[in-house]
Amino acid sequence: MVLLDGKKLSEHILAGLKTEVAAMKKKIRLGVVVIGTDPVIEKFVAQKKKAAEEIGIDVRIYRFDEKVTTNELRKRIAELVHEPHNTGVIIQLPLPGHINKQYILNAIPPEKDVDVLSGRAIGSFIVGKSTVMPPVAGAIKTLLEEYKITYQNKHIAILGAGNLVGRPVALWLLQEGVTFSVITEETGHPEQLLQKADIVVSGIGKPHFVTGDMLKDGVIAIDAGTSESSGKLVGDIDPVSVAKQASHLTPVPGGVGPVTVAMLLKNLVTLAARKK
């Protein structure tokens, strides 16, 4: 069984980006909107901030109380996306339940949407006009290519259909013409789809939900779901039991996560280079 080392790959990507950033005449800044004080969210924000600053990108964090209204938040985001110093802006998900998530995400114009989550940015990506990919889809694609794993002729099962993993991965695979299934809580007999899958991508945020008995021998297991269990960051896939079934497995931490951060910053540098 081969572990897909996302940490090493991300370091390689970031090293290249550092060279690009140093050659640019203008400063690049990433604006990060954070609502509330969730400790898991804070860890993700810290990872992005650390990686960005190491390659010469400034980070500005905009914090809001978790009781902020949708209209108040939208108004403030509309202001900060027009700040010329903010090259790109991201909304750290998840948002509190009372917030209209897509309405907030749509406040970011495509030229500053490094997460590719606004309606306009997603639309451009679907029709092949986007210069950037959703970071997690880009991360999975880059990991598979790095380890010379072909996916075009494989059946892929995606666990979850959320904004950050399931939906963008499905949109990417649609573009590639790959056969895939999306498994949600409403899917009947999900175990049958999982057993047939050559590649499983999980992004549901349920600690060690996927076990070895759910998968076929030789499966490629891509764990893009993270949550906290007993104070530790863990993935959706149980690494012990799945390692006995899988030919390849992404660890958590150190798999998809670091590459996703690198791809987000790659998007930022790409968008910055397009601006005059």
Please state, in angstroms and as integers, the Cα–Cα distance from residue 110 to each residue in 25, 60, 81, 99, 239, following that order: 22, 19, 11, 21, 37
Same domain, 205 and 95: no
Instruction: Please answer whether residues 196 and 216 qualify as being in contact, where contact means their C-beta atoms are separated by less than 8 angstroms.
Output: yes
Same domain, 94 and 158: no
pLDDT digits (tens, 9 = 90+) for 69-83: 999 999 999 999 999
Same domain, 80 and 142: no
Rounded to whole angstroms, the Cα distance separating 74 from 56 reads 29
Q: Is residue 222 part of a domain?
A: yes
Amino acid letter, 209:
F
Predicted local distance difference test score (pLDDT) of residue 89: 98
Residues β-bridged to residue 3: 249
Same domain, 245 and 163: yes
Predicted local distance difference test score (pLDDT) of residue 226: 87
- For residue 276, pLDDT over 60 is answered with no
Predicted local distance difference test score (pLDDT) of residue 274: 86
Same domain, 183 and 223: yes
Domain count of the fold of the chain: 2
Residues β-bridged to residue 196: none
Element (H, E) at 233: strand 232-235
Q: Is residue 119 part of a domain?
A: no
Same domain, 52 and 151: no
Distance of CA 2 to the CA centre of its chain: 22
Q: Is residue 270 part of a domain?
A: no
Residues β-bridged to residue 131: none
Assign residue 81 the CATH number of its domain: 3.40.50.10860
Same domain, 159 and 57: no
Tokens representing residue 154 in the block: 């494989």
Q: Is residue 162 part of a domain?
A: yes
Q: Supply the pTM of this predicted model.
A: 0.95
Same domain, 155 and 248: yes
Instruction: Please answer whether residues 122 and 164 qualify as being in contact, where contact means their C-beta atoms are separated by less than 8 angstroms.
Output: no
Same domain, 165 and 76: no
Rounded to whole angstroms, the Cα distance separating 174 from 172 reads 5
Rounded to whole angstroms, the Cα distance separating 84 from 253 reads 35
Same domain, 140 and 211: yes
pLDDT digits (tens, 9 = 90+) for 229-275: 888 889 999 999 999 999 999 999 999 999 999 999 999 999 999 87
What range does the domain containing 96 cover? 25-109
- For residue 18, pLDDT over 80 is answered with yes
Assign residue 196 the CATH number of its domain: 3.40.50.720
Q: Is residue 150 part of a domain?
A: yes
Q: Is residue 118 part of a domain?
A: no
Instruction: Please answer whether residues 233 and 254 qualify as being in contact, where contact means their C-beta atoms are separated by less than 8 angstroms.
Output: no
10 Å Cβ neighbour count for 242?
A: 24
